[in-house]
Amino acid sequence: MTRMLPCPDGAPTTLIDVGALRNTQALGERLGRSAAPGDVLLLSGPLGSGKTALTQGFARGLDCAEVINSPTFTLLKEHLSGRLPLYHFDLYRLDDPEEIWSLGFADYFNGAGVCVVEWAERAPDAWTMPNLWLELAVTGTHKRRITGCARGERGYVLLAQCAL
């Protein structure tokens, strides 16, 4: 699959190099602490790049104690025990990008909770709402390079957390 840089032309990107799993999780946790209702965090990158690890940190930042894993056969898992509802999407098995709409997922994207979407690149045209897109790349056994791109004001607020 061609990997495109998700940023629209001209939007600033941020590069973050992390050297250990706990740093990826800590980044997720900062984002979770800053999250507000309706926020959308998009994650892309290959198998094992750390999308779920980052989501685990994000859940911790929401004070959500539930186990977060890669939902193998479901596209969406809802975690309701934290400060805000967490809607955790994994679009790896999305057959057709249109399913995002036909399955009624639109309601989640401006709802009371926050959406974290693994494999966001499977529905490349869906993300017109404000969002932060993080593209994860494997640069070593424990190293990851994360490219962040914000769209809209909430995207920028979350992006600022990445630089801390």
Ligand X SMILES: Nc1ncnc2c1ncn2[C@@H]1O[C@H](COP(=O)(O)OP(=O)(O)OP(=O)(O)O)[C@@H](O)[C@H]1O
Residue 28 interacting with ligand X (CB under 6 A): no
How many CA within 13 A on the CB side of residue 44?
Answer: 19
Site for ligand X in 29-48 (CB under 6 A): 45, 47-48
In the chain, the DSSP E strands lie at: 13-18, 40-44, 76-79, 86-90, 114-118, 131-138, 144-151
The site string for ligand X over 111-130 (x = CB under 6 A, - otherwise) reads -------x------------
Site for ligand X in 133-162 (CB under 6 A): 142, 144
Sequence letter at residue 36: A
Give the largest CA-CA distance in the chain: 40
Q: Give least dist CB 112 to ligand X, A.
A: 25
Q: Which is nearer to ligand X, 133 or 154 (by Cβ)?
A: 133
Selected range binding ligand X among 50-58, 80-88, 103-111, 123-131, rule: CB under 6 A: 50-58
Size of the site for ligand X (CB under 6 A): 17
- Residues in CB range of 3: below 8 A, 6 or more apart: 44, 121, 135
